Structure 1
Amino acid sequence: MSYQYRFERILTLKEKEKDEVNEQYKGAISKFEQVAEKLYEFLKKKEELEVHQADKLQNGLSVQDIRHHQQFITNLEKTISYYQDLVIQARNRMNWYEEKLVDMNVEVKKYEKIKEKDLIIFQRNMKENENKQLDEVSVVQYMNREIR
């Protein structure tokens, strides 16, 4: 008689769900990294532009060039603000998937722990049955000796 876990299908399903959530979590991490990298690029570009503008102001700059730079910086700030919102959304999504993955891991671990305990009980029962059969065989042999 071989051991068969009664919740094997559920365990398999939960493991599959956990793997799917893990893939979604990895995708959320990737998306977060992409958006954060874009935000970093825009922040760096703004910083370089401000340094460049400060250098130009030292040497003298026309009013039109100052306005042009300010307009460009304003547009860059809007873009940065947009990407900051995207980073926040991506981080929240990533954290949500992380929590879901932790929950799925806990659930899978519960079923695995149940499986371990069930296997121990099964093995114990098999051992008890084997011992009973050995006892019965011993009694039968003893009785056969007594009859002779």
Structure 2
Amino acid sequence: MAYQFKFEKIMTLKEREKDEALSIYNESVKRFEQTAEKLYELMKRKEDLEEYQSRRLSEGLPVQEIRHHQQFIANLQKSIDQYQKMVMNARNHMTFNQEKLLQKNIEVKKYVKIKEKDKIEFLDLLKQDEAKVMDDISIQQFVHRGV
């Protein structure tokens, strides 16, 4: 008699849901990293530009070039602000997906635990049945010897 877990289909479905949640989580981590990287690049670019401008100011810089740099820095700051919001959204999305993945993991573990307990019960019943059969055989042998 082979062991058959009564919730096998449900467990398979839950494992598939967990795998989907994992891929969605990995995708959200990737998006977060890309957005954060772009934000870092913009901030580094702004910092480099401000450093360049301060060096040029000490040497003497035409007013037109100062205005040009200030306008460029202002535009960079707008981009930085936008990317900071995008990073926050990506982080929130990643955290949400992480929580969903955690829930799916817990569900799968519950079914694995149920399966383990069910299999132990099945094996115990199998041992009991074997013991009964062995008892019956030994009783029959005893009766046949006595006859």
**Counterpart for residue 75 of structure 1:** 75
**Counterpart for residue 7 of structure 1:** 7
With the length of structure 2 as denominator, give the TM-score of the two structures: 0.98
* Mean CA deviation greater in 114-123 or 63-72: 63-72
1:89 matches 2:99? no
How far off its partner does 1:62 sit? Answer: 1.5
How far off its partner does 1:65 sit? Answer: 1.1
Output aligned runs, 1:20-31, within 5 Å: 20-31=20-31
Amino acid at match of 1:72: F
* Mean CA deviation greater in 117-126 or 97-106: 97-106
* Mean CA deviation greater in 2-11 or 61-70: 61-70
Unaligned runs of 5+ in 2: none
**Aligned equivalents of 2:136 and 2:47: distance in 1?**
88
Q: Any idea what SS the aligned residue of 1:34 has?
A: helix
With the length of structure 1 as denominator, give the TM-score of the two structures: 0.98
Output aligned runs, 1:1-148, within 5 Å: 1-147=1-147
**Aligned equivalents of 1:99 and 1:54: distance in 2?**
46
Unaligned runs of 5+ in 1: none
**Aligned equivalents of 2:82 and 2:21: distance in 1?**
28
Q: Any idea what SS the aligned residue of 1:67 has?
A: helix
How far off its partner does 1:64 sit? Answer: 1.4
**Aligned equivalents of 2:113 and 2:122: distance in 1?**
14
